Amino acid sequence: MAAQQSQYYELYRGSTIGDCLIDTIDELINDSRIEPQLAMKILSNFDKTIADVLAEKVKARLTFKGHLETYRFCDDVWTFLVKDVKFKTDTSTEFTADKVKIVSCNSKRPGEV
Amino acid sequence: MSKSSVPDVYAKVIKDVCEASRVDFEEGGVDLNALEMLKQGWQKRLSAEHIATFPWDPKPEPASKPEPTPVSSSAKPVHTLPSNGATNTPPSSTSTPGPHVKQETQQYATQPPLQANHAGKRYSPTQPVGGAERAASLLQQQYGEQAAAQVAQLQQQNQSVVAPAAFAGSQRQQTPYELQLQQQQQRQQQLEYQRRIQQEYQQRQQQPHQPHIKQEFKEEAKEEFKHEDSTYGYPQSYNVNTIKNSQVDGPADAREEYEAEIAHRRTLVAQHRPASDRLIRDQVLASQQTLEAGGLMMPLGSHRSSRSKRTVAQRQAASSSLSRAQGDAPGDEEEDEDAINSDLDDPDELDGANEGDDDVTNVMLCTYDKVQRVKNKWKCTLKDGVLKVDGAEFVFHKGQGEFEW
């Protein structure tokens, strides 16, 4: 599990919350309020925190079906481009999307770097 | 369900990140205010995404409102000032400032020399005073004492119209020097008068509370002065200068404040411009690209953003030189750029797929436990995901995906 490892994926930096954090940090750096080194530390804190929170706090389940257009597996990262996706949550809420890109890292990372 | 938990999850992430970063801030000797700014800026941006309603949402809303103050403030003070009447338009120098002039002249009517001067000036001929003065001095220069009488006559003609009260008792002829002195005096009186009007305006400006009113007043006052100038026959530049000189204290503060505020906002806007320096974003984008385009999943410790940046630069340099060397048609260049890039760095098929990925806004970021395929049927067991679909955000702990290829 990612939360138990010493290294964390930077994957979630591309999420909305990560995006917002990056924008904010950029602004602070432009204002010369923080140094880029500190910014990198904040981001690594974010990597750890979001992995922990998603693992511990979130209990929701999600199932989805769709048309796989592209798949790719490289360096232990799966990338899928799925079309006409139907999502279904565990509370039977359903929603659809024309196109979804899934970027997925291995949950079991080898212990050594 | 998963959607409703998004605000809580994100709130916790923000809180935890800020707490974890507090130590780094302290170790780096960085002001903790910056951390607070980070938190608030982060929350604000997240709210602006309209993903969900966050616990902090009610707070930042009013804070973001006073942005358009410069626009609204110019309209506000108009109603607070009785002297401004009901006009919303900027003072036009002919109609609105009328009451001001009347008030002032009444007020200063108690001062005899000033009044005489002022009243005299109102009926002065259209020819500028400077002209008569120059004529007199020319006569004096050319003909010396012989012309004294004529000069005096000339001056008297002029002065009798300009200031009858001052010359009422004096029948003797005056030397041009005296006349000039007198004119200087008059001018000084004029200056004095304007200075007092200015002070009067300053006093009145200090009464209202909003600082922006001052500016309007000042502009109006200027307009009035200009208006008066034209009746006096003085060149306008002369009076503008006197106004500036007499405006030593007080009213410039409002303007300075206002301008400082404007400047401050402009710098803010400049900083927020997406085109401005986006260090971290670029870095992250570069690392993201490496991640998705077949780069190694690099742990944080061995983060080498400079390398990825360099490769981008190298790619561009290489592609341009290569395309030149190949002598391709200019229309092909843009397409070729990517193709060449992929030749240098990435497998071909990845690059082609990447282009298709770029316009996808619905993204799921997660980890996988298992990915299985039987013929064209795929099954994935996913974990710890963040999903963004059509502007809505979802988080899940476990996800099961089934696709047909």
Residue B269 maps to a domain = no
Place of tokens 């476990």: B398
Q: What is the distance in angstroms between the Cα of A4 and the nearest Cα belonging to chain B?
A: 14
**B357: pLDDT confidence band, cut at 50, 70 and 90?**
low
Same domain flag for B37 and B176: no
Q: What is the pLDDT of residue A83?
A: 93
How is domain A62-105 classified at the CATH fold level?
TATA box binding Protein, subunit D; domain 2 (2.30.18)
Tally the domains of chain B.
4
Residue B158 maps to a domain = yes
Residue B314 maps to a domain = yes
Residue B267 maps to a domain = no
Same domain flag for B235 and B288: no
Interface of B with A in 361-390 (CB under 8 A): 362-369, 371, 378, 380, 382-390
Tell me the chain B residues in contact with residue A38 when contact means C-beta distances shorter than 8 Å: 21, 24-25, 28, 30
Interface of A with B in 16-55 (CB under 8 A): 16-18, 20-31, 33-55
Domain that residue B225 falls in: 72-262
Residue of B37, B365, B404 to mutate, testing the A interface (most A Cβ within 10 Å of its Cβ): B365
Task: Please determine, for residue B127, whether its predicted confidence score (pLDDT) is greater than 50.
Answer: no
In this structure, are residues A28 and B35 in contact, taking their beta carbons and an 8 Å threshold? no
Q: What is the pLDDT of residue B85?
A: 43
Same domain flag for B94 and B49: no
In this structure, are residues B290 and B298 in contact, taking their beta carbons and an 8 Å threshold? yes
Say which CATH class A2-56 falls into. mainly alpha
Same domain flag for B59 and B105: no
- Across all residues in chain B, what is the average pLDDT? 64
Q: What is the CA radius of gyration of chain B?
A: 39
Question: Furthest-apart CA pair in chain B: how many Å?
Answer: 124
Higher pLDDT, B27 or B213: B27
Same domain flag for B328 and B365: no
In this structure, are residues B240 and B191 in contact, taking their beta carbons and an 8 Å threshold? no
Same domain flag for B234 and B312: no
Q: What is the pLDDT of residue B206?
A: 61
Same domain flag for B208 and B339: no
Which one-letter amino acid corresponds to residue B145?
E
- Please give the backbone phi and psi of residue B162, each rounded to the nearest 5 degrees, phi first: -70, -50
Residue B270 maps to a domain = no
**B119: pLDDT confidence band, cut at 50, 70 and 90?**
very low
Same domain flag for B22 and B81: no
Domain boundaries, chain A: 2-56, 62-105
pLDDT in tens, B260-270: 999 998 888 77
Same domain flag for B104 and B251: yes
Task: Please determine, for residue B242, whether its predicted confidence score (pLDDT) is greater than 70.
Answer: no
Q: Which of A68-82, B195-209, B210-224 has the least mean pLDDT?
A: B210-224
Structural element, H or E, at residue B98: helix B98-107
Mean pLDDT of B239-257: 60
How many of the other CB atoms lie within 10 Å of CB of B71? 8
Tell me the chain A residues in contact with residue B395 when contact means C-beta distances shorter than 8 Å: 54, 58, 60
Mean pLDDT of B88-108: 45
Same domain flag for B119 and B14: no
Q: What is the distance in angstroms between the Cα of A85 and the nearest Cα belonging to chain B?
A: 9
Of A44, A57, A104, the CB nearest to B368: A104
Task: Please determine, for residue B88, whether its predicted confidence score (pLDDT) is greater than 60.
Answer: no
Place of tokens 């432009």: A30
